[in-house]
């Protein structure tokens, strides 16, 4: 035990020394990008010298002011205006590069829980939201384990979340907002444990594959079983879990003169593991595709997801979970256009979802009804300087649910609900 402790102290000392040495010779920082990552990523330290150890602690602070409204947002249940939103996140990473240039490392994202009215300081406690180990080289690609991005999340293109704080994936939780639209970097998702591989780029192409045995979060690593409920209290009502989820994706990127093109294709399939629910569930079988074109500062992008997947009640938090038996395909799309000029960026997106109301209500009685979601999002940002950016968001949403009655904040029921929000916020990250 003493030898282990001494080795640990020595490693920390070497890490600190190498970090300090690297920092002294590092180039001047470049202005922060207007796109902010939603979770930690492996292999960020590609510039490290062979044989070195680098330890970093990245971070991000966000603060914003928001106004919102929508169906059921009235009377004693009306949202306080304006609403304040803020958080801090930390991104520790350890990266060792052997003499051959192969990276061995771990990276993590630490978050605090979302604070709601009536909750105290206990919700400021840090927890591990996402974490992964990786082995990476420009020769053979990246192998990752823990909770890395899935294949379709990692390579998705055209998802419309790179203006403001993210459009429909924005930092603001607003009245009757859509739960999610497209696959992309864990937007609105709780990462689950998986194995993942992403290839190097060959002639503009790269591919990825991931395998997720069950719906297990970062800290629940022991005793994987087929039927694990979301929680003991919800044994009879927990959403269906998926198992043996496999995702495969490919991406192509190339510049033709002054025109840049990126495109992606992906597929995801999983079995359905029913936990206490009555009725059956269909396996996941969905396809994704997207593209973006950039020219003279303009970007035109779009993507689509279609197949057997649930719109609302899905895998206790993971997008694209199993749908109710008999439910029709769900199709979601998003299209957008944006413009970037120096530190300024702005864009507009429109999206829609055609879904089975049985999935939305988690009720087989509505399995033959169709529902729709539609909305528009505007976003703009300005990079003030290194690590500092200001973002503006405006978004609307309308959900139609056939004859199914949605219950809103004030307890009333509606077959059509809407919501609107506007927010102004600032990022500081390092």
Domain edges within the chain: 2-429
Pairwise CA distance, residues 159 & 38, whole Å: 14
pLDDT of residue 74: 87
**Which residue's entry shows tokens 């603001």?**
172
pLDDT of residue 30: 37
- Please report, to the nearest 10 degrees, the dihedral formed by the alpha carbons of residues 213, 214, 215, 218 taken in order: -60
Q: How many CB atoms lie within 10 A of CB 335?
A: 16
Q: Given phi > 0 = left and psi -120 to 50 = alpha, else beta, which region is 244?
A: left
Pairwise CA distance, residues 344 & 361, whole Å: 41
pLDDT along the chain (430 residues), means of 10: 40 36 36 36 56 91 95 87 91 93 93 75 82 93 93 90 87 84 64 93 96 82 63 50 91 96 95 68 92 96 93 71 89 95 96 92 88 96 95 96 91 94 96
Pairwise CA distance, residues 252 & 104, whole Å: 27
Pairwise CA distance, residues 184 & 158, whole Å: 9
pLDDT of residue 39: 38
Architecture of the domain whose range is 2-429: Beta Barrel (2.40)
């Amino acid at each position: 035990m003493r030898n282990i402790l001494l080795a640990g102290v020595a490693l920390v000392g070497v890490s600190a020394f190498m970090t300090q040495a690297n920092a002294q010779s590092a180039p001047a920082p470049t202005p922060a990008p207007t796109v902010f990552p939603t979770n930690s990523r492996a292999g960020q330290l590609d510039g490290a010298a062979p044989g070195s150890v680098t330890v970093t602690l990245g971070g991000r602070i966000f603060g914003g002011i928001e106004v919102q409204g929508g169906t059921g947002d009235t009377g004693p249940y009306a949202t306080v205006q304006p609403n304040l939103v803020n958080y801090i996140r930390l991104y520790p990473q350890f990266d060792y590069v052997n003499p051959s240039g192969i990276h061995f490392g771990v990276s993590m994202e630490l978050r605090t829980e979302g604070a709601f009215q009536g909750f105290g300081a206990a919700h400021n406690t840090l927890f591990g939201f996402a974490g992964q180990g990786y082995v990476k080289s420009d020769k053979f690609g990246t192998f990752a384990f823990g909770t890395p991005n899935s294949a379709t999340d990692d390579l998705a293109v055209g998802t419309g979340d790179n203006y403001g704080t993210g459009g429909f994936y924005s930092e603001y939780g607003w009245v009757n907002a859509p739960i999610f639209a497209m696959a992309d970097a864990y937007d609105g998702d709780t990462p689950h444990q998986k194995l993942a591989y992403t290839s190097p780029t060959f002639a503009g192409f790269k591919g990825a594959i991931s395998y997720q045995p069950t719906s297990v979060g970062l800290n629940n690593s022991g005793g994987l079983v087929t039927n694990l409920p979301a929680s003991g209290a919800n044994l009879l009502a927990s959403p269906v879990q998926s198992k043996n989820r496999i995702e495969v994706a490919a991406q192509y990127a190339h510049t033709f003169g002054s025109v840049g093109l990126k495109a992606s294709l992906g597929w995801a399939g999983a079995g359905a593991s029913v936990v206490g629910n009555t009725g059956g569930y269909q396996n996941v079988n969905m396809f994704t595709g997207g593209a973006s074109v950039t020219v003279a500062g303009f970007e035109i992008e779009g993507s689509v997801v279609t197949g057997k997947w649930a719109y609302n009640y899905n895998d206790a938090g993971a997008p694209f979970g199993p749908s109710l038996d008999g439910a029709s395909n769900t199709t979601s799309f998003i299209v957008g256009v944006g413009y970037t000029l120096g530190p300024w960026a702005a864009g507009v997106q429109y999206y829609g979802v055609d879904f089975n109301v049985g999935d939305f209500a988690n009720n087989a009685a509505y399995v033959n009804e169709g529902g729709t979601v539609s909305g528009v999002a505007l976003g703009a940002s300005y990079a003030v300087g290194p690590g500092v950016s200001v973002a503006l968001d405006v978004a609307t949403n309308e959900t139609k649910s056939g004859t199914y009655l949605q219950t809103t904040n004030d307890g009333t029921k509606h077959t059509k609900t809407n919501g609107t929000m506007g927010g102004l916020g600032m990022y500081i990250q390092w």
